[in-house]
Chain A
Amino acid sequence: MQLTNRSKIVVNKEMTFAEKIYLPAILSGLLITIKHLFRKKVTIKYPEQTRPVAPIYRGWHVLKRDEQGRENCTACGLCAVACPAEAITMTAAERKKGEEHLYREEKYAAVYEINMLRCIFCGLCEEACPKEAIFLTDRMVPSDMVRSNFIFGKDKLVEGVESNTRIDISQRTTAHRHQ
């Protein structure tokens, strides 16, 4: 009974002499492989070249500053609560007099750590944040030999004050959700 018309009839035909001596087949195989020698290579040499990433790509987090260079984060802890992997820990501190140019509000995160080995890059911290302080970026987390180096503190998370050290997130789909 024929179920589909895609079935093929198997033939166990006798090989011809040219097929039996096997050498013509080897020659055509050699031709195929030598063609690949001159093909364009598919390799992307990673640290120097990177693959283009999608606008929704979620990588290395950034703690944003506002236009005047003050940290947005107020250490409310909503990101840590939202985090399903429990990767975020922080210690809050009160802003002193004369620190107004460093922190936007009276409370700030003295310590802010994300364990990059626990983080699942789901982006829930970004969604939970009421202050537009944390964003996931298109930067990839670099590899390391030591586990303790994967606990990223404020030194690796907070962006710089100068315009050239700012991390641009305007291309991210989540950049202006709260407005």
Chain B
Amino acid sequence: MEFLLIKFVLVVIVFVVSLGIAAYSTYAERKIAAFLQDRVGPDRAGPFGLLQPVADGVKMFMKEEIIPSNADRLLFILGPCIMMMTSCMTGVVIPWGHGLEINGTFYPVQITDINIGILYVFGVVSIGVYGIMIGGWASNNKYSLMGAIRASSQMISYELAMGMAVIALIMTTGTLSIREMVEQQHGFHWNVFTQPLGFILFIICAFAECNRTPFDLPECETELVGGYHTEYSSMKLGFYLFAEYINMFISAAIIASLYFGGYNFPFIDQLGLSPNMLSIVGTLIFFGKIFFFIFFFMWIRWTIPRFRYDQLMHLGWRTLIPLGILNILGTGVYVLYKNGQLHF
């Protein structure tokens, strides 16, 4: 009973925090876009425009709800639901902090530590494609369909390279549980130093999976009106846009925990703080890393122009996948050498 209660509270906290961060990512996106273009950005709603997400949310809710007469009603509604659901589900396996010890019992700050955490993330993310595909298909609009086709082929192509980057990581860490991966990076033994190529592959693929620039072809305004959500309006459109920001938050969290030590930070043992205090500081630092990566996503958006579709496919299949295989090979040799099983 107590177990269920604690997990329930954790689920609610993670849900609310990811929604809040997604809401404020929209604000951050607009502010950072403005700053990088020497502008000021939204500053009218509240101090520094901090109430802008609330205003946007109210606007989204108040807008007229339009379902095209030739659209498949059920699938049309199902699309944004799947998108939203899958993006919220990924946060379950991420270890947000080491854990708190209260009255002799240890409570890890993680909803569930399944021993195939990283596979779970991949599984859920690949369901997310269906949200886009179903939405684009059900709209009965050629632009939506084009956007959906682009999105699904792009995500399938880049999932391969992403998987390969992670396989190399699994080979060095020897575990599929995200929590164990993070624990192994204790202090400053971050995986990015042992897997630099894997990290670059992973972050490029994460951009593609989130449909962020330079890989935002599914919603390429200049070619496809609005992409897969052309026909959507009101809060259903809001769900698609919102899910994108949650995805960005979750992938920033995954990048931070797989390659940048999660809630670990350098000199963690020299501080002399109590374990509970360390855990809280670690969680804050983890969020700092996540915010940096969210900023990085936005920073990239205003730096690199969108790829052409053939360039996208070329990069995915002919550059990233061979590099991924090479990385696996190199990692294999390294692991064998480290274990003393390789004799020259």
Residues of A within 8 A of B (CB): 23, 26, 29-30, 32-34, 36-37, 39-43, 45
Residue of B32, B40, B300 touching A45 (CB-CB under 8 A) = B40
Task: Confirm or deny: B66 has a beta carbon within 8 angstroms of a beta carbon on chain A.
Answer: no
What band does the interface of chain B fall in when counting residues whose beta carbon is under 8 Å from A?
10 to 19
Residues on the A chain within 8 Å of B38, using CB: 36, 39-42
Contacts A26-B304, A36-B37 supplied; 9 other A-B pairs, CB < 8 Å: A26-B303, A30-B299, A30-B300, A32-B303, A36-B36, A37-B32, A37-B35, A37-B36, A41-B40
Residues of B within 8 A of A (CB): 32, 35-40, 43, 200, 299-300, 302-304
CA distance A42 to B40 in the complex (A): 8
Residues on the B chain within 8 Å of A29, using CB: 303-304
CA distance A43 to B40 in the complex (A): 6
A43:B39 contact, CB within 8 angstroms: yes
Which partner residue on chain B sits nearest A27 by CB separation? Answer: B303
CA distance A43 to B304 in the complex (A): 24
A sample of 17 cross-chain residue pairs with beta-carbon separation below 8 angstroms, ordered by A number, consists of A23-B200, A26-B300, A29-B303, A29-B304, A30-B300, A33-B303, A36-B35, A36-B36, A36-B37, A40-B38, A41-B35, A41-B39, A41-B40, A42-B38, A43-B40, A45-B40, A45-B43
Residues on the B chain within 8 Å of A23, using CB: 200
Residues on the A chain within 8 Å of B300, using CB: 26, 30
Residues on the A chain within 8 Å of B299, using CB: 30, 33-34
CA distance A32 to B300 in the complex (A): 11
B200:A33 contact, CB within 8 angstroms: no
Which partner residue on chain B sits nearest A44 by CB separation? Answer: B40
Which partner residue on chain B sits nearest A38 by CB separation? Answer: B35
A49: min CB distance to chain B, Å? 11
Which partner residue on chain B sits nearest A30 by CB separation? Answer: B303
Known contacts A26-B303, A26-B304; is-contact A33 B40 (Cβ 8 Å): no
CA distance A36 to B39 in the complex (A): 10
Residues on the A chain within 8 Å of B304, using CB: 26, 29
Residues on the A chain within 8 Å of B32, using CB: 37
Which partner residue on chain A sits nearest B200 by CB separation? Answer: A23
The list of the 7 closest CB pairs from A to B, nearest first, reads: A43-B40, A29-B303, A33-B303, A37-B35, A36-B36, A33-B36, A42-B38
Residues on the A chain within 8 Å of B40, using CB: 41, 43, 45
Residues on the A chain within 8 Å of B36, using CB: 33-34, 36-37
B173: min CB distance to chain A, Å? 25
Residues on the A chain within 8 Å of B43, using CB: 45
Residues on the B chain within 8 Å of A45, using CB: 40, 43
CA distance A39 to B34 in the complex (A): 11
Residues on the B chain within 8 Å of A39, using CB: 38
CA distance A39 to B36 in the complex (A): 9
CA distance A26 to B36 in the complex (A): 16
CA distance A37 to B37 in the complex (A): 8
Q: Which of the listed residues B39, B43, B302, B303 has the most CB atoms from chain A within 10 Å of its own CB?
A: B303
Q: Which of the listed residues A30, A32, A33, A34 has the most CB atoms from chain B within 10 Å of its own CB?
A: A33
CA distance A26 to B204 in the complex (A): 12
Residues on the B chain within 8 Å of A43, using CB: 39-40
Q: Which of the listed residues B32, B36, B39, B300 has the most CB atoms from chain A within 10 Å of its own CB?
A: B36
Which partner residue on chain A sits nearest B302 by CB separation? Answer: A33
A23: min CB distance to chain B, Å? 7
Residues on the B chain within 8 Å of A30, using CB: 299-300, 303
Residues on the B chain within 8 Å of A41, using CB: 35, 38-40
A156: min CB distance to chain B, Å? 25
B204: min CB distance to chain A, Å? 10
CA distance A43 to B39 in the complex (A): 6
Residues on the B chain within 8 Å of A36, using CB: 35-38
Which partner residue on chain B sits nearest A34 by CB separation? Answer: B299
B160: min CB distance to chain A, Å? 20
Which partner residue on chain B sits nearest A29 by CB separation? Answer: B303
Residues on the A chain within 8 Å of B35, using CB: 36-37, 41
